[in-house]
Amino acid sequence: MIEVQDLTKRYFDREVVKSVSFFVPEGEVLGFLGPNGAGKTTTMRMICAYLPPTAGTVKVAGVDLAQDPLGVRSRIGYLPENVALYPEMRVEEFLRFRAAIEGVPAKEVPERLAYVIDRCMLGDVQRQVIGTLSKGYRQRVGLAAALIHKPPVLILDEPTVGLDPRQIVKIRELIVELGRDHTVILSTHILPEVEQVCRRVLIIDQGQIVADGTPDALRTGFSGLSAVTVEL
Ligand code: ATP
C-alpha cells in the first residue's frame, strides 16, 4: 500500500533523511519509532506530499508521488503533530469545513460526518466549540478530520504527545480499532506505544532506518533502543 524508495531530504549541505526505503502492506499498522530530531516528521510530510523530497520515490495505493501529488494526498488521512483546529468553530462545523476542503461530494457529507463522529466517539461534543474541549477530545477531532474523505491510509505523527494517561489509552485503543480497516503509520518516540499498537516497527535514527522487525524482537535484540525515550 505504501512503497518508499531511497527517500532523501537535504537542507543545504545537511541530509536529515538519508535514502530511506520501506514497504507497508495493506492493513498493516507500522510503528515509526525514533528519538526527537531523527527525521520522522520530515519523512511523513514527504510521503503526504507536503514537503518535496530531494530524491527518492513514494507510491501510495499505486499512485506515484512525483506524477500525482494530489492523488497521493487524497489517499492519506494525515494527523500532524500539532493539528490546526479552529478553536471558535463547533466540532460538526469544522468537520463539514474539512469535508469541503477534501472534496467530499455534498451528498456524501452527512453520511461521512455521522461515520467519523461515531468512529472517533465525538457524539457528545459534536455541537461544542472546539476551543472548550480537552486536548484528548481535540486530538479525536483531528483524527475525525483526517478520516473525513475515506482515505485507505492513515499517517499519525506523535498522536499522544501532551495527553494525560487516560486520554493516551483512549487514543491508542482508537488507533488499534482504525487499524482494522486502514493501513497506518504511527510515528512516535515512545516504545511502549508501538508495542501496544503495532506488530511491526521501523526505527529511524539520524535520518536512517536502523532496524525493522517486531517490537519484541527489537526490544531484545537492538541495543540502539536506549536512545529512544521509554515512557508510559
Ligand atoms: P521530533 O519528534 O522532534 O519532531 P522528528 O524525528 O520528527 O523529531 P524532524 O522534525 O523530521 O524530526 O527533523 C529532523 C531534522 O531535520 C532535525 O534535526 C531538524 O532540526 C531538521 N529540520 C527539520 N526541518 C528543517 C528545515 N526546514 N530546515 C532545516 N532543518 C530542518
Sheet holding 63-64, edge to edge: 14-24, 2-11, 55-60, 63-64
- Of 46, 149, 135, 167, give the one whose Cα is nearest residue 98: 149
**What DSSP character marks residue 182?**
S
Q: What is the pLDDT along the chain (232 residues), one digit of tens a residue?
A: 999 999 999 999 999 999 999 999 999 999 999 998 999 999 999 999 999 999 999 999 999 999 999 999 999 999 998 887 899 999 999 999 999 999 999 999 999 999 999 999 999 999 999 999 999 999 999 999 999 999 999 999 999 998 999 999 999 999 999 999 999 999 999 888 998 999 999 999 999 999 999 988 887 766 555 455 444 3
Cα dihedral across residues 49, 77, 208, 231: positive or negative: positive
Which ligand 1 atom lies nearest to the CA of residue 187? Answer: 7
Residue reference for cell 507500522: 30
Which ligand 1 atom lies nearest to the CA of residue 41? Answer: 7
ipTM of the complex: 0.95
Q: Quote the pLDDT of residue 230.
A: 45
Burial environment of residue 199 by CB neighbours within 10 A (0 to 12, 13 to 18, 19 or more)? middle
Quote the CA–CA distance of 75 and 232 in Å, as a whole number: 32
Quote the CA–CA distance of 200 and 217 in Å, as a whole number: 10
Strand 14-24, strand 2-11: pairing = antiparallel
| Ligand 1 centroid – CA 205 distance (Å) | 12
- For ligand 1, residues with CB inside 6 Å are 11, 16, 34, 36-42, 189
